[in-house]
Amino acid sequence: MWRVTHLLWGEDGPADVFVRLHRVVRRWPLGRVFDCFYCLSVWVAAPVALWLTTPWIERALVWLGLSGGAILLERVTSRSPPPPPPAVWRHEPLPEEETDDVLLR
C-alpha cells in the first residue's frame, strides 16, 4: 500500500505520467485527495481490502489496517526535519531590595 500511495502522491513517474494525472484529477471535486498522503492511503487501501476479504467486518479492519501500515511506513521513511526543541522556562528570583522600613522586613 505504501508503495502505490507514495507513487501516486509524491513521484513524477516515467515521462511525468503522475504529474499529468495530478493536473487532471485536481479539476474534480475530490481531486485534493491526491495532495494528502494520509487521505490517499485510505482510498488506495479500499479496493485491496475489498479484494482480499469477504466478510464486511474483516474488510473494514483490513482497510484501516492497510492504510495505517502505509501511514506508519511513510512516517518512518520520510526525511522531514526534526521538530524544534521545546521551549524552556527559566524563573529567576527577583533581587531583594534593601529597605529601611521595619514593617517590610
Identify the weakest region by mean pLDDT among 37-41, 73-77, 89-93: 89-93
Does the pLDDT of residue 104 top 60, yes or no?
no
For residue 82, is it within any domain? no
For residue 62, is it within any domain? yes
Q: Is the overall model pTM greater than 0.85, yes or no?
A: no
For residue 89, is it within any domain? no
For residue 83, is it within any domain? no
**Domain coverage including residue 56:** 2-77
Q: What is the pLDDT of residue 98?
A: 60
Bigger pLDDT: 33 vs 66 = 66
For residue 18, is it within any domain? yes
Residue 13 region by backbone torsions, left for phi larger than 0, else alpha for psi between -120 and 50, else beta: left
How does residue 94 score in pLDDT terms, banded at 50, 70 and 90? Answer: low
For residue 71, is it within any domain? yes
CA-based torsion, 44, 42, 21, 14: positive or negative: negative
Give the rounded percent of residues in the chain with a pLDDT score beyond 90.
31
For residue 91, is it within any domain? no
Give the model confidence (pLDDT) of 51-79 as tens digits. 999 899 999 999 999 999 999 999 888 88
Q: How many domains does the chain have?
A: 1
- Rg of the chain over CA atoms, in angstroms? 27
